[in-house]
Amino acid sequence: MLRVLCDHRSPGLVLHQTPALAAGFQPMEWHEGFCEKPHDEAYKLKMDEALLTFYSELPHSIMVHYTSDYCYKCLYQPLATVENGQRNVSVVLSTTFTLTLRISPVDGNSTLCSLSHKFEEAGHYSLRMRQSDLLNDVTCSLSVDKSPHNTYLPLLVAFLILALTAVIWASFPFVLRCSCTQRLKNLICCHGSQNSMDMEEATDDPCMDKSISKSSRLKSLDTFRGFSLTIMVFVNYGGGGYWFFEHAPWNGLTVADLVMPWFVFIIGTSVVLAFSSMHRKGVSRFQLLRKLTWRTIVLMLIGFCFINYSPRDGLLSWSWLRIPGVLQRLGFTYFVLALMQTFSPHREIPLREHHWWSPIQDVVLYWPEWLFIVLLETMWLCVTFLMPVPNCPTGYLGAGGIGDDGLYTNCTGGAAAYIDRWLLGDNIYWHPSCKVLYRTTQPFDPEGVLSTINSIVMGFFGMQAGKILLFYRNVNGSILTRFMIWALILGISAAILSKCTRDEGFIPVNKNLWSLSFVVCMGCMAFILLGVMYFVVDIKEWWGGQPFIYPGMNSIFVYVGHSLLGFYFPFSWEMCVQDSHWEKLFQNLWGTALWVCIAYLLYRKKFFLKI
């Protein structure tokens, strides 16, 4: 964001700009006003802002333009004008990404000087422009007048506190186990003559949880689900105001971009495990169809009626009511995956007959499903790269706006956005993550129609993980090996498609579009994370999955609850400290921790919201 302030030595014109998101800038709004004498309070900076003052010693007026290095091939935008005779002009600008400044004469297109710099939060900077007497060249020198804040110090402190809490949490069962062992020894020593009776009483002790038969439920899957959901709650609350806890403006990956595809992956794994269990219990296909249809309808209704609208949005208007959404996409993806599993021809897993393809029977036996997925992905590729879009280049994947040298202003999202506007009209998302940085004017829905195809493909990767768990149950080495093989295949595919770059690949990694490279990249990460958690939680039992396992077993309740109540006390409040990340980070961590605690209490009460 930037706010252009006044030349405090020449009272007259005051230049202001409305605050924008940390990802970029808003168009300038010019207002007349009177400049007061400057002091430290005159430049009250907010989070992710810095003050830059231009000092010009040039004999003519100059114009300063800027662009963000994160914005791909973006046009330079006007930042400030220093008139002839005006000693200085101050601007408040964003510290989120590296900025490139270009200084040029007001009446010409030549560049006098340019520089790139990553400004830091709350820093005061000076840029002095002088003309050399000998060479008649312009030199620009940047200096720091006031040292900036350490932006990542709140994050470091929070990490250390959470790490210490995790160590104490992990140590508590060990201390409790030692205490139980000592009590057991005392019972044996003091009542040796009644050894058999004492041992029977000892098994009723709550410390002897190990004697209880283990549940057949896959703890690592609940832990993975809860881990994804906890991060989702945190980033939805604001992620402490850090840009990497928000969605990427267009291409690239941030932490916020990871959780949704992981959740879809988990849905696929859960569908295979749950439906296989119901197959073994003799549940008919009609009953399965009724169950999956009901669950899909409920998920979509919750997403459309509750998550889509809240009282703080004002009176409901059909003109802006959004039809797509997160739960709508999850519901439809679940419906397709569950249908595939319901009509799967193989109920006996694994087959008892041995064939030459037995080592890969978890793939070969499901060739109709693979054929369906290949056809779906072929359709996505054809529509994305071959479908003509009016006034846009065929196969365009950019953000439009000021990106791509401003050539495709109204082409945001290419074919994906065109199909959504054609089918849904204006009832799609009007505030995409690219809107601020790329200054786009067109709506774009990250949960649109075309990207839902690749959501199904992501869920299918999760189904493959579930089939591996079923085919090779009790053969942990084979399970982990196949997880790593899948991760390797998908990771190499993502590297080839993206050329290991953010914007220059064949198909860039893009969460807004749910591009093919994004899906295979997320599939790679999901296989690795599930494999690690399966090894640590289910095989070695080094970790019980706490505290993530609690929200993982009540995911619908936590997701809907945090979406409906997230902006009410005690989950959030009006912040008093707006010039740093301290209070924002504490507030978001506090709100997330409250939902984890609520999930734990519900777990103790054995309350699990099922659909």
Active site residues: 247
Q: What is the 3-state secondary structure (H, E, C) of 96-145?
A: CCCEEEEEEECCCCCCCEEEEECCCCCCEEEEEEEECCCCCCEEEEEEEE
Give the containing element (helix H, strand E) for 193: none
Calculate the alpha carbon distances from 376 to 208, 261, 369, 371, 451 in Å. 52, 18, 11, 9, 11
- Other Cβ atoms less than 10 A from the Cβ of 573: the count is 13
CA distance 323 to 314: 18
CA distance 144 to 75: 27
- C-alpha atoms less than 13 angstroms from C-alpha of 394 in its C-beta half-sphere: 7
Which of these, 447, 441, 451, 440, lies nearest to 415 by C-alpha position?
451
Pairing of strands 29-32, 49-56: unpaired
Q: Helix %, strand %, coil % for the chain, to 5?
A: 50, 10, 40
CA distance 518 to 522: 6
Q: DSSP assignment of 221-257, as one string?
A: HHHHHHHHHHHHHHHHHTGGG-GGGS--SSBB--GGG
What are the two backbone dihedrals, phi and then psi, of residue 4, each rounded to the nearest 5 degrees?
A: -85, 120
CA distance 48 to 152: 11
Q: Which residue in this structure is represented by tokens 């200054």? A: 439
CA distance 457 to 436: 30
- b/e sequence 285-318, b meaning 16+ C-beta within 10 Å: eeebeebbeebbeebbebbbeebbeeeeeeeeee
Question: Strand, coil or helix: what is 65?
Answer: strand
For residue 373, the one-letter residue type is I
Q: Are 98 and 118 contacting, i.e. CB atoms less than 8 angstroms apart?
A: yes
Give the containing element (helix H, strand E) for 163: helix 153-190
CA distance 221 to 231: 16
Q: Kindly state the tokens that stand for 541.
A: 């039992």
